[in-house]
Structure 1
Amino acid sequence: MANWTGAILTNKGRALAAKVEAGTCKLELTKLKVGDGTPSDLESMTDLASPKQNIGISSITPSETGECDIECVITNKDMDRGFYMREMGIFATDPDEGEILYAVQTDTHPDYLQGKGTSATLSIALHVTIAITNTDSVTAVINPAGLLTSADLDKHNTSDDAHSNLFKLFAKLTDLKTHNEAADAHESRFKLFEKIENLGDDIIKKLALTTTISAVTALQTNSWFGQLLKLVLTASGVKYSIAQNGYVCLGSFFGGLIIQWGHSVGKTKTWVDTLPISSSESYAALANDTGLGACPIGTRANSSTICFYQQSENLTGLFYIVISKA
């Protein structure tokens, strides 16, 4: 469970705080960063030890007790790899220095933010509280990257003037009732609803009638059907890397079957090579000496490596292929 310590002002942060308290400028917060570093001297930091993600500010809420609540939303939708959130930095604008690292806090029991390929897309709201003498002197750069949260939406919807412009528009439609009672007033809308209702059946029929050749053609275009096929294949785990050391993962439709291959050079007699992609188990492995044209005496593979055993000590290289399961 996360255990964030209180935020510590950096040296540049203290200098900016003094300017704010003196009334020469406002405290303009710009963003947050999270990382997996373990810094020791927090006060002298100008950036995180190992920054992993910039986070835009969603909202900032001052209180009457001299504190400001900063809300940000962190998401893993663009993260290829997960990381432990061990450090967090608050950035602000100094009128003389530009953007600076204002404050830092660390976590001795960090949470792990999973990468996008290991779970569903996650969005986590982060709240950081800072103390300031005059909360009226605190502002924030609200970044579109600081995603809209449900709390923001509720706050908007309960506001007295949230939809005032919309109500004014309706008030001008004095003949609205007459329009709604007309026989053909919403004919096009009903047709649209009917098309939406039948969309699921149309997709299923399209899939059933599509041959392999036309499916491949669709995948190479930007048609709606091609995009749908790509989404289905990606969701099932289909992926590939067409390279000298590559793989093809056929996804859950084919039981998670993986075919991978590679070329290894510069080793002799017995060695172990890392496979292009790890798997839960391997079923078969085959290698061929590129120089002598002979197969090694023994070849085997496990979840992440392939092993070769050969009598000759003069191997120039090997080609191999492995059949495994995701």
Structure 2
Amino acid sequence: MAKFANLTFTSQGTQMLVQAQNSHTLTFTCGKLGSGVLTDTDDISKFTDLKSPKMTLPIVSVDDSNEEKLVLTFDTSNTELEEGFVSREIGIFAKLDNGSEALYAYSNAGNNYDYIPSKDTPSDENRLVVNLVVSSSANISVQIDKSIVYTHKSDVEEMISTHNASDTAHETRFKLFEKIADFGNDIIKKLALTTAITAITALETGSWFGQLLKMVLTASGVKYNIAQNGYICFGSFFGSLILQWVNALASDKLVGHAFTLPLSCSVYAYSICHVGSAPGAVSIENGKAYDVGWNNTPVWIIAIGSM
């Protein structure tokens, strides 16, 4: 970048600063770069604009920690610059209240200039920092351009530092840890209940994780009916394994009465407990229980299969 001398106030700039100390507001709006050459007869205090303005610089940040000084930061980019130019001039622009924008301060680098190429020669965006003397009693604001996409390394470092210094920076993460801890306690308490099914039911109705668990179990095909004639389907996580049981009165196969298992499935194995003595045997065919001997004989049937 060009090496600029200290900024010189224009007459308009001095007047605006005085008025800003008397109930008016001075707002810094932008900067400009130009290629103008100073002559011996030029009076900077009477300038209203650069001698040859070429590029407008939006303000991207401000440091007002010193009441007597503003540090304005500009980013320069040639992405929209149609024609390259020699950068000799810099001007800081401001307005009073809702008035027109005017040249507040000016500097010229003379022979210590820089060349900024056109958009046809892409270049890295540069950061330009300007110090401005102000008054602690003046009402001053700065117009920051929020549309600037370019982020400087120092911006990131400052944001990280600010974030880490904040008392509430990691509050969300801590809340998540608390939720996980609460969930752990919830599981321990509910698994201490009578059965796993009772615990799952309690989780489904008593916690945020339970609702999630319920959705996962439903999606995987897990279902159950704990009753006299019931079943447990373990879902796709366990190959759609089904355990079923029946307490029924077996009927003679020839009579044509048969008891259907609660769920239709392929039966891999079964066990039958025949209550009392009776001739013949009890069997399962096509998911139905038959007694080849005595009618109305109570039996317990446990069948293992899959959907």
TM-score, structure 1 as length reference: 0.48
Of the three residues 154, 157, 168, the one matched with 2:157 is 154
Residues in 1 aligned to 2:138 and 2:174: alpha-carbon distance in whole angstroms? 37
Q: CA deviation at 1:163?
A: 7.8
Q: Which runs of 5 or more residues in structure 2 are unaligned?
A: 185-208, 217-307
Q: Is the 8 A contact 2:67 2:136 kept in 1?
A: no
Residues in 1 aligned to 2:137 and 2:152: alpha-carbon distance in whole angstroms? 23
Residues in 1 aligned to 2:55 and 2:94: alpha-carbon distance in whole angstroms? 16
Question: What secondary structure, in the 3-state scheme, does the structure 2 residue paired with 1:19 have?
Answer: helix
Q: CA deviation at 1:145?
A: 4.9
Match of 1:12 in 2: 12
CA offset digits 1:199-230 (Å, max 9, x no partner): xxxxxxxxxxxxxxxxxxxxxxxxxxxxxxxx
Aligned residues: 179
Q: Following superposition of structure 1 onto structure 2, how do residues 300-319 of structure 1 map, counting pairs within 5 Å?
A: none
The amino acid that maps onto 2:14 is: R
Q: CA deviation at 1:90?
A: 0.6
Cα distance change of structure 1 residues 150 and 112 upon mapping to structure 2, 3 Å threshold: same
Match of 2:32 in 1: 33
Q: Is the 8 A contact 2:17 2:138 kept in 1?
A: no
Residues in 2 aligned to 1:31 and 1:84: alpha-carbon distance in whole angstroms? 20
CA offset digits 1:268-313 (Å, max 9, x no partner): xxxxxxxxxxxxxxxxxxxxxxxxxxxxxxxxxxxxxxxxxxxxxx
Match of 2:253 in 1: none
Q: Is the 8 A contact 1:55 1:145 kept in 2?
A: no
The amino acid that maps onto 1:25 is: H
CA offset digits 1:18-41 (Å, max 9, x no partner): 112x33223321111111122533
CA offset digits 1:144-200 (Å, max 9, x no partner): 355432212211111146887773433443249999xx9xx9xxxxxxxxxxxxxxx
Structural RMSD (CA): 3.1
Match of 2:49 in 1: 47
Q: Is the 8 A contact 1:76 1:115 kept in 2?
A: yes
Match of 1:169 in 2: 172
Match of 1:68 in 2: 70
The amino acid that maps onto 1:35 is: G
Q: Does residue 113 in structure 1 map to residue 105 in structure 2?
A: no
Q: Is the 8 A contact 1:67 1:135 kept in 2?
A: no
Cα distance change of structure 1 residues 59 and 73 upon mapping to structure 2, 3 Å threshold: same
Question: What secondary structure, in the 3-state scheme, does the structure 2 residue paired with 1:158 have?
Answer: helix
Of the three residues 82, 85, 110, the one matched with 2:84 is 82
Residues in 2 aligned to 1:62 and 1:135: alpha-carbon distance in whole angstroms? 13
Q: CA deviation at 1:82?
A: 1.5
Structure of higher CA gyration radius? 2
Match of 1:227 in 2: none
Question: What secondary structure, in the 3-state scheme, does the structure 1 residue paired with 2:49 have?
Answer: coil
Residues in 2 aligned to 1:55 and 1:36: alpha-carbon distance in whole angstroms? 14
The amino acid that maps onto 2:26 is: L
Q: CA deviation at 1:136?
A: 7.3
User: Identity over aligned residues, as a percent?
Assistant: 24
Cα distance change of structure 1 residues 152 and 25 upon mapping to structure 2, 3 Å threshold: farther
Question: What secondary structure, in the 3-state scheme, does the structure 1 residue paired with 2:118 have?
Answer: coil
Q: Following superposition of structure 1 onto structure 2, how do residues 1-326 of structure 1 map, counting pairs within 5 Å?
A: 2-20=2-20, 22-39=21-38, 40-64=42-66, 66-95=68-97, 97-108=99-110, 109-118=112-121, 120-134=122-136, 137-146=139-148, 147-160=150-163, 167-173=170-176, 174-175=179-180
The amino acid that maps onto 2:2 is: A
Residues in 1 aligned to 2:48 and 2:23: alpha-carbon distance in whole angstroms? 22
Question: What secondary structure, in the 3-state scheme, does the structure 2 residue paired with 1:116 have?
Answer: coil
Q: CA deviation at 1:86?
A: 1.1
Residues in 2 aligned to 1:73 and 1:96: alpha-carbon distance in whole angstroms? 25
Q: CA deviation at 1:76?
A: 1.5
Q: Which runs of 5 or more residues in structure 1 are unaligned?
A: 186-326
Q: Is the 8 A contact 2:11 2:45 kept in 1?
A: yes
Cα distance change of structure 1 residues 38 and 156 upon mapping to structure 2, 3 Å threshold: same
Cα distance change of structure 1 residues 96 and 172 upon mapping to structure 2, 3 Å threshold: closer
